[in-house]
Amino acid sequence: MEKKGTILMRRYEIGRLLGQGTFAKVYHARRLASGQNVAIKVIDKEKVMRVGMIEQIKREISIMRLVRHTNIVQLYEVMASKSKIYFVMEYVKGGELFNKVAKGSLKEDAARKYFQQLIGAVDFCHSRGVYHRDLKPENLLIDENGNLKVSDFGLSALKESQRQDGLLHTLCGTPAYVAPEIINKRGYDGAKADIWSCGVILYVLLAGYLPFHDSNLIEMYRKITKGEFRFPHRFPSDVRKLLTRLLDPNPNTRITVEMLVENPWFRKGFKPVVAPAASESLSNLKDVISAFSIEINDDGRTQKAEMSEPMKPTSLNAFDIIALSPGFDLSGLFETGNREKQEARFTTQKPASAIVSKLEEIAEMEHFKVKKKDGLVKLEGSKDGRKGQLAIDAEIFEVTPAFYVVEVKKSSGDTMEYQKFCDQDLKPYLKDIVWAWQGEDQRQPPPLPPAPQPNLMSGPVS
């Protein structure tokens, strides 16, 4: 079904391969009825089920249906067969903006135009409660008319993903473009984090290289959190002032979109795009469900095929390891502090399913309610304590397929009751699966995989 010239679902003729990743391939295709050029993203169902990515793909479909804008790659329809999911998308002929920057810096007017279109698209996303969280030149495409198109919403979040504190907590993105508050793991405003990434992109467009660059990933994160970067001598003063406000490590004082569109440098030649009404964007969310519950055979017939996935741990990436470790030192995962204990961590070589089963057994014995979502298990007490019902979150992080870190912390209730529960119930019952608790002596854990190095465009700074 993926060979050139193959007819897909009696609607599309498959063309050349445009690109591929771990779970998907993207092909150029032609709509038979109209001759329209499209791009079709082909996702392997079995692979995404195996790694627990079904909910992420559902979210990506939902988000792409919400963000219909001139400067955003459009999703036309979603189809499914027994083994594949197909995203039929707008075909953007000009390729990635990254390819232009890789050849050197852009002229100021060209960089400004792309930046204006990027901000227009990002502002529209935010107005729909969508935060991209992986903005970078590789995810910005250029069409045949030279206009920018934002793509790849695979790491995006909806406003509904925010916790009670009104912030997002998932650590994700591309290291060189990620905002400092994401690295610090204290929760972050998705809109402010996106604006930081836009600031990095503007710097790259004008300079031809990254503002924060170091061959040592930890040192690069330190520079990001401190906001340490230099301007090339050729940058005019108004650009320097704007970038200083965009790359402000304090999200509370960082420039907002509302302030940005009033900036004189930004406003030069700015042509705002009129976006469609929200009701138009929400009309086709039904195929979020149909892609996972209905299969379309090549002959056009449909059949039901419900999909489900097992409990999956949170992937512990470079951001998590650094954020969990005081002083950017992995040994901090197992260090004790003088502060009042509100959280504890343990390591284990048992799979996520075994960890969850143990937590469910403890909950049943202690009459706790259990709620599970992604890599988070919530235990909620049925009785009121000194400060209301005790509630405990246990988040499972996968470091390698054979090594897990579990973070246990109180989300509500009395701290003394929480500590008593941990010492008298939780720790003794988990002893069969725990490698070591935080602060205890432990055997040498399995080696960590090498930290992924970002695709950096290095260059001289002055």
Please tell me the total number of residues recorded for the chain in this structure. 462
Q: Is 41 annotated as a binding residue?
A: yes
Q: Write out the chain's pLDDT in tens, 462 residues.
A: 566 779 998 999 999 999 887 788 999 999 999 999 999 999 998 888 877 778 788 888 889 988 999 999 999 999 988 889 999 999 999 889 999 998 889 999 999 999 999 999 999 999 999 999 999 999 999 999 999 999 999 888 887 666 666 677 676 778 899 999 988 877 899 999 999 999 999 999 999 999 998 888 889 999 999 999 999 999 999 999 999 999 999 999 999 999 999 999 999 999 888 766 554 444 444 554 555 554 444 444 444 444 445 556 665 555 555 555 544 443 343 334 444 456 788 888 888 888 888 888 888 888 898 888 767 888 988 777 777 888 999 988 876 666 788 889 888 888 888 888 888 888 888 988 887 786 554 444 444 444 444 443 444 443
Q: Which domains does the chain show, CATH number per domain?
A: 7-91+281-304 (3.30.200.20), 97-267 (1.10.510.10), 314-437 (3.30.310.80)
Per DSSP, which regions of 332-445 are E strands? 343-348, 368-373, 376-385, 388-400, 403-412, 436-437
DSSP per-residue string spanning 287-319: HHHHHHHEEE-TTS-EEE--------PEE--HH
Beta strand pairing status for 436-437 and 343-348? antiparallel
Handedness of CA 150, 196, 102, 156 (dihedral sign): negative
CA distance 283 to 68: 11
CA distance 130 to 287: 19
pLDDT value, residue 332: 40
Structure tokens at 379: 């235990």
CA distance 396 to 335: 19
Q: What radius of gyration, in Å, describes the C-alpha atoms of the chain?
A: 24
pLDDT value, residue 336: 42
CA distance 185 to 169: 7
pLDDT value, residue 280: 42
Residue 116, SS3 per DSSP: helix
CA distance 460 to 448: 32
Structure tokens at 381: 């007490």
- Identify whether 134 is a catalytic site residue: yes
Whether the model clears a pTM of 0.75, i.e. scores above it, the answer is no
pLDDT value, residue 268: 95
For residue 375, CA distances in Å to 170, 312, 352, 371, 394 come to 11, 5, 8, 11, 8
HEC readout, 150-194: ECCCCCCEEHHHCCCCCCECCCCCCHHHCCHHHHCCCCECHHHHH
The backbone torsions φ and ψ at residue 291, rounded to the nearest 5 degrees and listed phi first, read -65, -25
Handedness of CA 100, 102, 105, 111 (dihedral sign): positive
The position carrying tokens 């469910």 is 360
Residue 17, SS3 per DSSP: strand
Marked catalytic residue, from 44, 109, 123, 134: 134
